[in-house]
Amino acid sequence: MICEGNLLLGLDAYEIQQYQQNRYPCFFVDYITEACPGKYAKGYKNFTYNEWFFPAHFADEPNVPGFVQIETLTQVFLMTFLTFPENKGKKTGFISVKDARFHKKIVPGDRLDIEAELSFFRRGLAKGISRGYVKGDFCCSAELEIAIPEIMVQFRPKNNPEKIVSGGGITTK
């Protein structure tokens, strides 16, 4: 893929947190190797036994819960449109998750490499697909629709003022 805009390379934990507001213990991306605003992002997360969900899921067979995989796919996907200068550091919310698929069990010690593509971004609504791989093997994917409520609310239809723009529990009146 060719990036025409301002390509960002090698974002570490601190720099990623300048772009998105997810924080410990719900911060599921370690490193962004490449991010092209408006197009794609690539990054990874390491899984280690020293994470809060492993002792509970499951005690005799630790593996990564599906919701954590979706959240990891999403947090890399966020970097495709939060990297626009005007969106930097804004809060986001889910609109829909379609066709989430989990092909392989992920265990502590694995590294999940993620590639996210943005296909649509207008009026604070982003659509795209995000895929995860472990050692090159396809592991999980999801079609995502994510909103930036702060921007989306500006485009609320005037004839229906009662309608509430929501996303992931963030409600903007």
Partner 1 sequence: MQDEAFALNEVELMRYQPNRYPFLLIDRVTEVVPGKYAKGYKNLTNNEWWIPIHFPGNPNMPGCLQIEAMAQMLTVALTSLDGMEGKVVHSYKHMGTFHREVRPGDRLDMESEVLSFRHGLCKGAVKGYVDGELVCELETVVIIPDIFKKLRPKGNK
Catalytic residue among 57, 91, 111, 156: 57
Q: How far apart are the first and last CA of the chain?
A: 39
- Binding residue for partner 1 (CB under 8 A) from 34, 51, 117, 143? 51
> Which range in 11-19, 89-97, 125-133, 147-155 contacts partner 1 by CB under 8 A?
11-19
Per residue, the 3-state secondary structure of 115-173, as one string, reads EEEEEEEECCEEEEEEEEEECCEEEEEEEEEEECHHHHHHHCCCCCCCCCEEECCEEEC
Under rule CB under 8 A, residue 14 binds partner 1:
yes
Under rule CB under 8 A, residue 137 binds partner 1:
no
Q: Which is nearer to partner 1, 13 or 164 (CB)?
A: 13
In the residue annotation, 103 being an active-site residue is answered as no
Non-local CB neighbours of 155 within 8 Å, separated by 6+ positions = 123, 124
> What's 83's DSSP letter?
T
- Binding residue for partner 1 (CB under 8 A) from 4, 48, 86, 135? 48
145: left (phi over 0), alpha (psi -120 to 50) or beta: beta
Number of residues forming the site for partner 1 (CB under 8 A): 30
- Cβ atoms 77, 144 nearer than 8 A: yes
User: How far is residue 147's CA from residue 127's CA, in Å, rounded to a whole number?
Assistant: 9
Q: Which is nearer to partner 1, 23 or 122 (CB)?
A: 23
Q: Which is nearer to partner 1, 95 or 134 (CB)?
A: 134
Under rule CB under 8 A, residue 19 binds partner 1:
no
Under rule CB under 8 A, residue 157 binds partner 1:
no
- Cβ atoms 11, 32 nearer than 8 A: yes
Under rule CB under 8 A, residue 156 binds partner 1:
no
State the residues that interact with partner 1 by CB under 8 A. Answer: 12-14, 23-25, 27-31, 44-52, 54-55, 60-62, 107-111
Catalytically active residues are: 57
